[in-house]
Amino acid sequence: MEIDEEEKIIKNRLIYKDAIIKRAFKKYLQFIATLNEPSTGEQTAQEQYDKCVNAYLQLSRELSSFELVIQKAQTISDIGNEELQYYDQLYQQRTMEIENEKKEIAQLKEQLSYEKIQRQYKEQYLSLYKLINEKPSIEQSESEILQAQKELDEITDQMTKTNNKLELRSKQFQLLLHTLNELDMNLDNGQVVTTTTTTQEQPIQIDQQPPQQQDVIDADKMET
């Protein structure tokens, strides 16, 4: 609807300008005809002159009107050019502003990404800090290690003593088996009578024991 109205206005302006040109051209032809009009006896020279002057004035008025229209059109054209130049500059300015805004947005995106990464690092650091604080300190850990090492040494020493004692008991048990085996062999060989005779001739010594068995018992006492 607006386009039709603009076309109508432009059409009316062109028709108006065309009418002015036609009127001016018509006055020009009338002026030329007046100049070329042959003089007659009925018209005096003054009347002919006045008629030419009148035609000239009418032509001048039409030309002045046409010049005014041209000046008006020129002014409108100049204003239009100025507005076009203004809007062109405004367009360039807005384009530059848009480009600057795009660059700023890109920078803000990079900064936001950087801030997110830094925030993740900070959260990880805080998590590690809390985890480290939950763990014992180096001094406490070293003290616990020394205490554990001391307990381990005590256990190792106790195991060594236990092994030695066990080895001693094993030797004693083997000696006992050996002694029992010898007694059994002696009984089988009929040495019981000889042993009885010997015991009658010599007083019984309760505390006296075989040398090997005595050494084992002494070692057991020392270990105990």
pLDDT tens string 133-148: 777 777 877 888 888 8
Cα separations in angstroms, 21 against 17, 145, 184: 6, 116, 165
Does 213 have pLDDT greater than 80? no
Confidence of residue 4 (pLDDT cuts 50, 70, 90): low
Q: Quick check: 50 and 9 in contact, CB under 8 A?
A: no
Q: pTM for the complete prediction?
A: 0.37
Please tell me which residue, 117 or 71, carries the higher pLDDT value: 117
Mean pLDDT of 48-57: 80
Is 80 exceeded by the pLDDT of residue 38? no
Q: In sequence order, what are the residues at sequence separation of 6 or more whose Cβ sits closer than 8 angstroms to the Cβ of residue 69?
A: 17, 20
Burial 100-138 (b: 16+ CB within 10 A, else e): eeeeeeeeeeeeeeeeeeeeeeeeeeeeeeeeeeeeeee
Q: Which residue has the higher pLDDT, 190 or 203?
A: 190
DSSP 189: T
Going from the C-alpha of 167 to that of each of 171, 210, 216, the distances in angstroms are: 6, 20, 11
More confident residue, 59 or 194: 59
- pLDDT higher than 60, residue 166: yes
pLDDT recorded at residue 6: 60
